[in-house]
Structure 1
Amino acid sequence: MRGTIKKEGTSWFVLYDTGKDPVTGKRKQKKKRGFKTKKEAEKFLSEKLNSINNGTYFEPKDITLNEYLNYWVDNYARLNLAPRTLEHYNYIITQHLKPTLGKIKISNLQPFHLQEYYTQKLETGKIEGGGLSAQSVKHHHRLISKVLKDAVKWQFISRNVAEAVSPPKTKKVEMQTWDNERVKTFLDASQSSVYYSIYLTAIYTGMRRGEVLGLRWQDVDLENNVIYVRQSLQEVKKVGLTFKEPKSGKGRSITITTTLSKELKKIYKVQLEDKLLLGKEYHDLDLVFAQKNGKPIQPTEMARNYRKLVESSGLPYIRFHDLRHTHATLMLQQGVHPKVVSERLGHSSIGITMDTYTHVLPNMQKEAAQQFDQLIK
């Protein structure tokens, strides 16, 4: 008999054969205790015997979550994640997951462990005191889900318990953008800034900050007024400034206006002069937006300048990233098809664009209805 069920005090246990040890040739048996009813034990035994017969049985690894997280970082994260993403995940793992859940055997991890973890993080999760935001805890949940999904794939465990747990609900933050008059005010106020051309590019293209700062001349076609987004600049602690592929993982093209094209031509001319002046001291990385010596622009320095400009101009403050949202909102308000806006922003689907900019759609529908009314009349 390949499996037996017996009572032990008030609970039941299961004993079953898993086959022969390939080295010793001896029969291997597994024992599972703690079933409250005989029916639960029978169900468990049936599932195990079926998996053994089908050749899908494996023994969960007898390691702690701590040990598995180290394995995951070394064998997956370091090889597949962008430096900044790896840095962020490492922080969550070392500062949160390991101290709270690390000692639990990965095979013993249960949904209630994660549910209690989320509750605790919402209440007292901050290192300096206080609770984490629901959005932050949701990031933890996504990481845990990914980590355990890989554990199932690599046969460390038989199921992903994160699938049985719901992360806290997050409130949708209202998007902050400028209208066309405020955009003009900001551009007028920033004309004397060394970063003016960067602000202009962000507003006129909807590119992310890293994409603008990582733009190369080889990716700019001034004859046809097209920019190709193929790399992004990012700042990583202990590493410095690095380049990576765009967030979507693939490049995209953005048609630019004559105004922006003229500005880029001015920059190109100034850079040629800088190269001649500095000679070998010029660090030629082919960057469109660079320091006078050719090195990449420090994102944090530019961010400080941006904040000062917004404050001095008297405009309501919006983040640099909101210039991207401003670009998309203004285009949609002008009647540009959402598919075109989606392609300019580099969204993987038009659905993301529609979901992100739902605040624009009611007015667009109103205008469309009025235009239809005029057409019929």
Structure 2
Amino acid sequence: MSYLKKVDAKNKQGYAWKCTSEGPRDPITGKRRQVTRRALTKKEAQAKVDEAIEEMIKQDKRGVGSDMQDMTVRQLLIQWFDLVMKHRLKETTLKSYINTMQRRVIPVMGDVRVAALNTIFLQNFINNLNSEDLSPRYIEYISTVLYGAFEAARKWGVIEVNPLNDVERPRPRQVSFPTWTREEAQHFLNTALLSNLRMYTVVSTAFKTGVRRGEVLALKWSDVDFENAEINIERSLVYDKEGFRFSKPKTKSSVRKIKVGDSLLTDLKRWKGQQNELKMIHRKIFVDHDLVFTTETGKPIYPRTMTHMFNQIIKEAGVPKIRFHDLRHTHATLCLESGMSLKDVQDRLGHGNIQTTGNVYAHVTNNMKEKSTQLFEDYISKI
């Protein structure tokens, strides 16, 4: 039932009619929703209310409220990060997504309604990124994150089609990573062993397991199974404004057990002996968190400090400069070249699917195919 009331208005007749009626309850919250419209006559006011209620019912059937229809890109990103991505991504990865959107997307289209976006607008956005001389990989990263947000909007019924579908965007490319040869890796380790046993053991562990920087710094002695020659990866070290803390590894598949050889077990035992000596020397201030790699007083190692030490030893050894993360690529490359199966390498790296491993190391697997073909050819030629 509608409620009609005469109200003052700045028109010739000096008044208007206000019509208020109960709309359908919110399908999600169950809250009441009243609809009010004004017009010159009772009939017009009632007609406007009826039209608004009819549109509200249509939107409810589609699962989209008026607030969703008016959702801006800024609001979409906030909801997408909060409802979906924070449950999928590692904390540091999520922060990277948020920072990228705040820096590159929000200033340009943060207040634009998602439903109002079109191909031309977004093509101009991508073209402008290109004109800033940003790397193709970074532009690809921005567009990939934004595409994911628009896909969420499509699934939620805010839009019917992802507006980035027909935009010419940088496509995923095969990226090659610098790696060390066996000889270069061994030369680095020999140099490190003479000057810094802790750094030697950190790199030996990363090189011989393929673990990420945060994973190696979060290792605890309870994760090292000397008897079964296994290392358990179940956490990662994070350092930010809030200080040091442990988080879950990058993905679910990153929680894994890695079989290791005698050489790494020997390295770890040697380092454990020196760490025990440090505990005795600094016993009054040493804080024991059971961490494998720590400062002299037992605190976690600051990631950038470790990277700095890594780069210093690279200079001393005179080997090609690589990132610490490239030890992971070196490990995978040497595993494949040694004859290890792609599936085994996938498990060691903690990749969610074998396609990821195959795509990243396609150049290596192609070499393996050539070697395998030649081995087969040599074999059958003896028949």
TM-score by length of 2: 0.78
The amino acid across from 1:161 in the alignment is P
Q: Mark the CA change 1:219 to 1:53 in structure 2 (over 3 Å): closer, same or farther.
A: closer
Q: Mark the CA change 1:141 to 1:277 in structure 2 (over 3 Å): closer, same or farther.
A: same
SS in 1 for 2:231: strand
How far the C-alpha of 1:327 sits from its partner, in A, is: 1.3
SS in 1 for 2:134: coil
How far the C-alpha of 1:120 sits from its partner, in A, is: 0.8
SS in 2 for 1:233: strand
Task: Give yes or no for contact 2:62–2:157 (8 Å, CA) kept in 1.
Answer: no
The amino acid across from 1:232 in the alignment is S
Q: Larger C-alpha radius of gyration, 1 or 2?
A: 2
Task: Give yes or no for contact 1:284–1:294 (8 Å, CA) kept in 2.
Answer: yes
Q: How much is the aligned-residue C-alpha RMSD, in angstroms?
A: 3.0
**Aligned residue for 2:244?**
241
How far the C-alpha of 1:357 sits from its partner, in A, is: 1.7
- Structure-to-structure mapping, 1:210-359, within 5 angstroms: 210-236=214-240, 238-250=241-253, 251-279=255-283, 281-359=285-363
Unaligned runs of 5+ residues in structure 2 are: 1-21, 25-32, 36-48
How far the C-alpha of 1:375 sits from its partner, in A, is: 3.4
**Aligned residue for 2:186?**
184
Superposed CA deviations along residues 125-184 of structure 1, whole A, max 9, x for unmatched, are xxxxxx321211111112212222333344444443233334224654432222211122
- Structure-to-structure mapping, 1:1-377, within 5 angstroms: 21-22=23-24, 23=33, 26-29=49-52, 52=58, 55-56=61-62, 58-59=64-65, 60-73=68-81, 81-124=89-132, 131-169=133-171, 172-191=174-193, 192-193=195-196, 194-236=198-240, 238-250=241-253, 251-279=255-283, 281-376=285-380, 377=382
Aligned counterparts of 1:123 and 1:53: Cα–Cα separation in 2: 40
How far the C-alpha of 1:199 sits from its partner, in A, is: 0.6
SS in 2 for 1:161: coil
Q: Mark the CA change 1:283 to 1:152 in structure 2 (over 3 Å): closer, same or farther.
A: farther
Aligned counterparts of 1:66 and 1:344: Cα–Cα separation in 2: 39
Q: Mark the CA change 1:195 to 1:139 in structure 2 (over 3 Å): closer, same or farther.
A: same
Q: Mark the CA change 1:170 to 1:367 in structure 2 (over 3 Å): closer, same or farther.
A: closer
Task: Give yes or no for contact 1:203–1:327 (8 Å, CA) kept in 2.
Answer: yes
Task: Give yes or no for contact 2:230–2:260 (8 Å, CA) kept in 1.
Answer: yes
TM-score by length of 1: 0.79
**Aligned residue for 2:41?**
none
How far the C-alpha of 1:274 sits from its partner, in A, is: 3.5
Aligned counterparts of 2:119 and 2:339: Cα–Cα separation in 1: 48
Aligned counterparts of 2:138 and 2:268: Cα–Cα separation in 1: 39
Q: Structure 1 vs Structure 2: percent identity of aligned residues?
A: 33
